[in-house]
């Protein structure tokens, strides 16, 4: 089943992160790790994507799936569904993918001095086979949505400054004084996937200036992401991934850091650098102002503020993989008053291979939080085989 014929695959991928790994655990069992091992050490039969950590390997599988609108068993054997060892089996499509990686790398080296200008998505654009004939329907149809900028924009020649946009945002959600009065909060609600509409209990713990933990209570165990102000971890049941505990690094760590900063927005200016204001845009027929910053100096973080309410409505950030950038988009809405401060009670997190919806029902400001909530989580127990 292709993504183009059924979007429900996205929900399945969101709940079953393992299937994006593409190969089985070297020992066939989930095992906790603090530092991320290299892909070829963690999995069997990795021949091309070597020398990269597990999270980049996972992101690469997601990039393939999104670029070709395919799911896990399209590239892997059908028996891989429910049998992680079978992901290591070779198939014709896996061998083709290896050749395509070499081809794309060769094009970039030969014609672009090694700079990544061509990826799988450049030709496939969501299709199994690259299209070679222009489409009349697309040529004369409604214009597509503007592409998400994945590079730092040139500052807009006219318009508001970064300080003006961010200051209006701070004022819109309650003002710096009221924001400073909230030094922690506990939020509870539900989480659901794109296709899996079952609502799972969700908890969020945040403490100023930059600590944040989220917990999703799934039927097969808890999924936890923690950022203690410097280091982050993600823990998930063995049924969801082969490594039940991983330390965040690279773009994933920067993303956790940004999420923590957005929990206490008065620190947003310090969270990013190289700030600039882009040209106005629209989201769902709503005028928005785009502001960019960067956390690593390489890739932008795009923030969209409603031009009327000045509220933050979207954040897009990027993580790297050997074959291309992986965007994560977070949309915020349902702002409600909490101790004089407006907080979004609903947000939707979308990435290349899944989507998650969070709906809060209760937020307790300045609630005491045990420091253990922000410590490295315990690795969930491996499931019985």
Which residues have CB under 8 Å from 190's CB, separation 6+? 199, 200, 201, 202, 358, 359, 361
pLDDT over 90 for what percent of the chain?
53
pLDDT over 70 for what percent of the chain?
87
Question: Could you give the C-alpha distances from 241 to 16, 82, 190, 217, in angstroms and in order?
Answer: 7, 12, 22, 16
- 57/45 Cα distance (integer angstroms): 13
Quote the pLDDT of residue 369: 97
- Tell me: pLDDT of 167 over 60: yes
- Tell me: pLDDT of 33 over 80: no
- Tell me: pLDDT of 79 over 70: yes
- Read off the DSSP letter of residue 53: B
- Would you call 280 helix, strand, or coil by DSSP? strand
pLDDT digits 0-9 by tens, 238-252: 666 667 888 998 889
Question: In which element (H, E) is residue 204 found?
Answer: strand 200-207
For 2-40, the DSSP string reads -TTT-THHHHHHHH-GGGGT-S-BTTSS----SSPPBHH
Dig out the tokens for 317 from the structure.
Answer: 């950030």
- 382/244 Cα distance (integer angstroms): 8
- Tell me: pLDDT of 72 over 50: yes
Range from 25-34, 219-228, 326-335, 361-370 carrying the lowest mean pLDDT? 25-34
- 195/190 Cα distance (integer angstroms): 15
Q: Which long-range contacts (CB under 8 A, 24 or more apart) does 340-347 make?
A: 340/174, 340/178, 340/181, 341/173, 341/174, 341/178, 341/179, 341/182, 341/365, 342/172, 342/173, 342/174, 342/311, 343/173, 344/312, 345/189
- Tell me: pLDDT of 4 over 50: no
Quote the pLDDT of residue 255: 94
Contact 196, 220 (CB under 8 A): no
Average pLDDT, the chain: 85
- Tell me: pLDDT of 11 over 80: no
- Tell me: pLDDT of 169 over 90: yes
- Which residues make up the CATH 2.50.20.10 domain(s) of the chain? 162-374
- Tell me: pLDDT of 1 over 60: no
* Domain 162-374, second-level architecture: Clam (2.50)
Cis check: omega of the bond before 364, within 30 degrees of 0: no
pLDDT digits 0-9 by tens, 252-296: 999 999 999 999 999 899 999 999 999 889 998 899 999 999 998
- Tell me: pLDDT of 155 over 90: no
Confidence of residue 380 (pLDDT cuts 50, 70, 90): confident
The most confident of 44-58, 67-81, 148-162, 169-183, by mean pLDDT = 169-183
More confident residue, 33 or 47: 47
Quote the pLDDT of residue 129: 87
Range from 23-37, 62-76, 90-104 carrying the lowest mean pLDDT? 23-37
- 266/289 Cα distance (integer angstroms): 19
- 317/300 Cα distance (integer angstroms): 7
Average pLDDT for residues 44-52, to the nearest whole number? 89
- Tell me: pLDDT of 74 over 90: no
- Tell me: pLDDT of 199 over 60: yes
Quote the pLDDT of residue 241: 67
Confidence of residue 381 (pLDDT cuts 50, 70, 90): low
Confidence of residue 55 (pLDDT cuts 50, 70, 90): confident
The whole-model pTM stands at 0.86
- Would you call 368 helix, strand, or coil by DSSP? coil
Is 111 buried (19+), middle (13-18) or exposed (0-12) by CB count in 10 A? exposed
Backbone angles phi, psi at 362, to 5 degrees: -155, 135
More confident residue, 291 or 6: 291
Confidence of residue 303 (pLDDT cuts 50, 70, 90): very high
Quote the pLDDT of residue 5: 36
Quote the pLDDT of residue 239: 66
């Amino acid at each position: 089943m292709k993504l183009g014929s059924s979007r429900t695959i996205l929900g399945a991928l969101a709940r079953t992160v393992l299937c994006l790994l593409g190969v089985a655990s070297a020992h066939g069992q989930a095992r906790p790790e603090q530092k991320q091992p290299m892909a070829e050490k963690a999995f069997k039969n990795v021949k091309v994507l070597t020398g990269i950590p597990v999270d980049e390997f996972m992101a690469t599988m997601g990039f393939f799936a999104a670029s070709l609108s395919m799911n896990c068993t399209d590239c892997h054997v059908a028996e891989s569904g429910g049998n992680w060892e079978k992901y290591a089996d070779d198939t014709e499509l896996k061998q083709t993918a290896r050749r395509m990686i070499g081809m794309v790398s060769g094009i970039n080296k030969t014609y672009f001095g090694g700079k990544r200008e061509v990826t799988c998505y450049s030709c496939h654009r969501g299709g199994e086979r690259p299209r070679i004939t222009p489409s009349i329907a697309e040529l004369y149809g409604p214009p597509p949505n503007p592409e998400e900028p994945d590079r730092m924009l040139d500052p807009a020649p006219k318009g508001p400054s970064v300080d003006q946009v961010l200051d209006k945002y701070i004022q819109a959600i309650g003002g710096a004084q009221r924001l400073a009065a909230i030094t922690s909060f506990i939020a509870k609600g539900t989480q659901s996937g794109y296709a899996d509409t079952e609502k799972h209990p969700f908890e969020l713990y945040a403490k100023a200036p930059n600590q944040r933990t989220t917990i999703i209570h799934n039927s097969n165990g808890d999924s936890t992401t923690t950022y203690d102000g410097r280091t982050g971890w993600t823990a998930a049941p063995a049924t969801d991934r082969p490594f039940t505990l991983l330390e965040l690094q690279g773009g994933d760590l920067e993303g956790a850091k940004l999420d923590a900063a957005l929990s206490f927005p008065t620190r947003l200016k310090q969270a990013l650098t190289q700030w600039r204001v882009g040209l106005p845009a629209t989201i769902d027929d709503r005028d928005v102002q785009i502001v960019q910053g960067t956390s690593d100096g390489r890739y932008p973080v795009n923030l969209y503020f409603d031009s009327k309410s000045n509220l933050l409505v979207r954040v897009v950030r990027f993580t790297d993989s050997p074959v291309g950038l992986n965007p994560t988009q977070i949309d915020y809405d349902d702002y409600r008053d909490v101790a004089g401060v407006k907080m979004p009670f609903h947000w939707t997190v979308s990435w290349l291979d899944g989507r998650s919806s969070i709906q809060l029902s209760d937020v307790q400001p300045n609630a005491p939080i045990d420091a253990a909530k922000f410590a490295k989580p315990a690795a969930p127990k491996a499931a019985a085989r």
